[in-house]
Amino acid sequence: MSQGFRQPDILKIARQDGKVTVENLAAHFGVTLQTIRRDLAELAEANKLERVHGGAILPSGTTNIEYQERRNLNQTAKQAIARACARHIPEGSSVFLNIGTSTEAVARQLLRHRDLMVVTNNMNIANILAEKPDGQTIVTGGKLRRADGGLVGTVAIDTIRQFKFDIAVIGCSAMDTDGDLLDFDIEEVGVSQTILTQSRQGFLVADASKFNRTAPARIASMKSLSAVFTDAPVPGGLARLCQEWNTDVIVTT
């Protein structure tokens, strides 16, 4: 019985009991404490377990942490983009804020705007705007997605159809150089498209890293948007296209 055999068993015990102790494992496998420590160190390195004094526990909230980290990614860029976007949203208007960390940043910047009617399908945004003393916040219904607090599904789409917005603020997973907006999640694409059809103007908030990525589902083309907010000049050909389409490109520094 060696490392390779013990580690899956250790994981099984951990998942069953929620925790493991160095001492019990040593007794269970008939090896020394030091050997178990080495196993646990490897499992912790691989993020299978979380090491604590005297043993190990299951890693805490693996799902949410991913979103948390995504939120911190490019944080200063996102904030600058959000500020620029917020400046283009007049007080008193009706706005939709979609799922996403970028739109969440916009929500924070909108806290000072007066008399907005904000509709969102993002629980995090709703929580942020709950602090806002004036205006109205409306939450679309939907299935709560634990990973990112998004509300998705037919209920969400049906609710959105009942409104007409001045401005829709959406994010995306990736942008193609031909101006197409892409997303990883088909379910979300349906929501984004519905939002755009229900809005007079569409704003995209996306940091420049989205240009270096790709995703399978197509939301729409920049052609149908009024403005794009980002933090680096868009590739040359696309800039010309946007001009042709009458889509403003606002680049923050």
Using CB under 8 A as the binding rule, whether residue 46 contacts a second copy is answered as: no
Q: Judged by CB under 8 A, which stretch of 26-34, 104-112, 148-156, 181-189 contacts a second copy?
A: 148-156
3-state secondary structure of 59: coil
As a residue count, the chain comes to 253
Q: Does 47 bind a second copy (CB under 8 A)?
A: no
Rounded CA separation 160/162 (Å): 5
Question: Binding partner of residue 35 among DNA, a second copy, none, CB under 5 to 8 Å per kind?
Answer: DNA
- Residue 104 to residue 251: CA distance in whole angstroms: 19
Which two structure tokens, joined as six digits, stand for 3?
């490392």
**Contact call for residue 4 and DNA (CB under 7 A):** yes
Among 22, 77, 151, 220, binds DNA (CB under 7 A): 22
Element (H, E) at 181: strand 180-183
Among 12, 17, 23, 243, binds DNA (CB under 7 A): 23
For β-strands 180-183 and 227-230, DSSP reports them as: unpaired
Shortest CB 146 distance to a second copy, Å: 6
230, amino acid identity: T
What pairing do the DSSP bridges indicate for beta strands 180-183 and 217-221? antiparallel
123: left (phi over 0), alpha (psi -120 to 50) or beta: alpha
Binding status of residue 143 toward a second copy by CB under 8 A: yes
**Residue in 19, 28, 38, 108 binding DNA, rule: CB under 7 A:** 38
Looking only at the bridges linking them, the beta strands covering 174-175 and 180-183 are: antiparallel
The reply on whether position 133 binds DNA by CB under 7 A is no
To the nearest whole angstrom, how small is the minimum distance from the Cβ of residue 32 to a second copy?
Answer: 17
- Cα–Cα distance, 228 to 137 (Å, whole number): 24
Regarding 138 and contact with a second copy (CB under 8 A), the answer is yes
x/- mask, DNA, residues 93-132, rule CB under 7 A, reads ----------------------------------------
Is residue 28 involved in binding DNA (CB under 7 A)? no
Positions in the binding site for DNA (CB under 7 A): 1-4, 6, 22-23, 30-35, 37-39, 41, 51-55
